[in-house]
Amino acid sequence: MASKYLKVQCKCGSEQTVFSHTTSVVKCNQCKEPLAHQSGGTAVIDGKIVEELG
């Protein structure tokens, strides 16, 4: 799977851009809930994917 950027929506409604192969935990800028975390390849997305940005 090719790497891409994803627009992810948190439970609080905030959206932010996340890399699909992140190597660290990505937290929401608003409420600090985890949006994505590493899994040895493609990231595990904890939020809702709203859009694939390429």
User: What CATH number does the domain containing 28 carry?
Assistant: 2.20.25.100
Cα 24 to Cα 51: distance, rounded to the nearest angstrom: 21
* Per-residue model confidence (pLDDT) at position 1: 61
Full-model pTM:
0.81
Print the domain residue range for 27: 5-52
Q: Which percentage of the chain shows pLDDT scores above 70?
A: 98
Number of domains in the chain: 1
DSSP characters over 22-47: -SS-EE-TTT--EEEE--SSSPEE-S
pLDDT tens digits, 18-39: 999 999 999 999 999 999 999 8
Helix (H) or strand (E) holding 14: none
* Residue 1 DSSP one-character state: -
